[in-house]
């Protein structure tokens, strides 16, 4: 079992990098590895609890039919998946980035940290991936 | 009333989270509101016109994601009588042949883009 640290920067609803990051985390958990996720800048909004589903008139879909996949639900699902697989998933936000964006209300299980925490996660990891933004 | 042309180049940018392409969606919403709009797919976005694409099956833990249905969305654009074009040169560079395209999507050579722009009053580049 290895420990992996993954840095994410892109905000939700903006980039294909986000699903890629979630897929990497899911794959690592599935293979039994511990994962530290450090969200920096816009990525701190991924776990924002205020995200809401909506109907979609262009699709002709109700709220239930659209079943919009908000990333806060992906964060919750991955934290539950890690618990089920008995591996450790840390989902840590840059606290200052959270404050700047007013996204303090996060789903349960998400913590606050600093670049020093990110560095400590890296030091304690077998591998580090940073998916930077453009 | 002004005629609008949406030129879409950026492709599959946030389609998993949005469940559609936001530029296609925005243009369709303009049409629903009464605007006169057309769409030009260029660059990687020409793949939106391919009929056999399928992004379903993604799942994060217990959360299944339906995924975007670009075929549904482009077919809806065609049914809405929104003229939609794809740049033939960009299709050819990606190995996409005309039989793979959603019926109703017109192709035009890169050299014809200027004339298409001339035929519209306002251009939105995405």
Flag whether pLDDT at B89 surpasses 90.
yes
Containing domain of residue B102, as a range?
3-125
In chain A, how many domains are there? 1
Q: What six digits make up the tokens of A44? A: 């701190």
- Chain A contacts of B27, Cβ < 8 Å? none
Q: Which residue of B has its CA nearest to A77?
A: B61
User: Residue-wise over A100-129: b if at least 16 C-beta within 10 A, else e?
Assistant: eeebeebbebbebbeeebbeebeeebeebe
In chain B, how many domains are there? 1
CATH of residue B109: 3.40.1260.10
Question: Considering CB atoms only, which of B12, B17, B25 is closest to A13?
Answer: B17
* CA–CA dist A57, A52 (Å, integer): 16
Give the pLDDT score at B55: 85
CATH of residue A60: 3.40.1260.10
Flag whether pLDDT at B66 surpasses 90.
no
Check CB contact under 8 Å for B16 and A74.
Answer: no
Give the pLDDT score at B75: 98
The order of strands in the sheet holding B122-125 is: B106-108, B84-87, B36-41, B3-8, B122-125
Q: Is the ipTM of this complex over 0.90?
A: no
Residues of chain B whose beta carbon is less than 8 angstroms from a beta carbon of chain A are: 12-20, 25, 28-29, 32, 58-63, 65-66, 72-73, 76
A72 touches chain B (CB under 8 A): no
- Chain B contacts of A58, Cβ < 8 Å? 20, 25, 28-29, 32, 76
A64 touches chain B (CB under 8 A): no
Give the pLDDT score at B121: 96
* CA–CA dist A124, B23 (Å, integer): 42
Percent of chain A with pLDDT over 90: 96
pLDDT along chain A (134 residues), means of 10: 96 94 97 97 97 92 91 97 98 97 98 95 95 87
Check CB contact under 8 Å for B29 and A57.
Answer: yes
Report the DSSP pairing between strands A127-131 and A3-8. Answer: parallel
A73 touches chain B (CB under 8 A): yes
Containing domain of residue A39, as a range?
3-131
How far is the alpha carbon of B29 from chain A, nearest alpha carbon, in Å? 6
Cβ atoms of residues B37 and B77 within 8 Å: no
């Amino acid at each position: 079992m290895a420990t992996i640290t993954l840095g994410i920067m892109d905000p939700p609803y903006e980039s294909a990098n986000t699903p890629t990051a979630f897929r990497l985390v899911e794959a690592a958990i599935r293979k039994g590895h511990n994962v530290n996720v450090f969200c920096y800048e816009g990525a701190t909004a991924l776990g924002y609890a205020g995200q809401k589903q909506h109907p979609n008139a262009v699709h002709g879909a109700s709220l239930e039919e659209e079943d919009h996949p908000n990333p806060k639900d992906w964060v919750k699902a991955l934290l539950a998946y890690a618990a089920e697989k008995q591996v450790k998933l840390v989902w840590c936000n840059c606290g200052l980035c959270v404050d700047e964006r007013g996204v303090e209300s996060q789903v349960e299980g998400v913590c606050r940290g600093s670049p020093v925490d990110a560095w400590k996660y890296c030091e304690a990891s077998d591998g580090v991936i940073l998916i930077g933004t453009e | 009333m002004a005629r609008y042309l949406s030129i879409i180049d950026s492709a599959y940018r946030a389609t998993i989270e949005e469940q559609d392409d936001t530029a296609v969606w925005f243009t369709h919403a303009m049409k629903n509101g009464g605007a006169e709009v057309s769409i030009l797919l260029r660059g990687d976005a020409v793949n939106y016109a391919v009929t056999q694409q399928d992004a379903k099956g993604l799942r994060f833990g217990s959360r299944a994601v339906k995924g975007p249905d670009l075929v549904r969305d482009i077919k809806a654009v065609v049914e809405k009588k929104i003229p939609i074009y794809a740049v033939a040169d960009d299709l050819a560079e990606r190995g996409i042949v005309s039989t793979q395209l959603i019926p109703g999507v017109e192709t035009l050579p890169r050299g014809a883009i200027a004339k298409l722009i001339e035929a519209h009053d306002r251009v939105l580049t995405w």
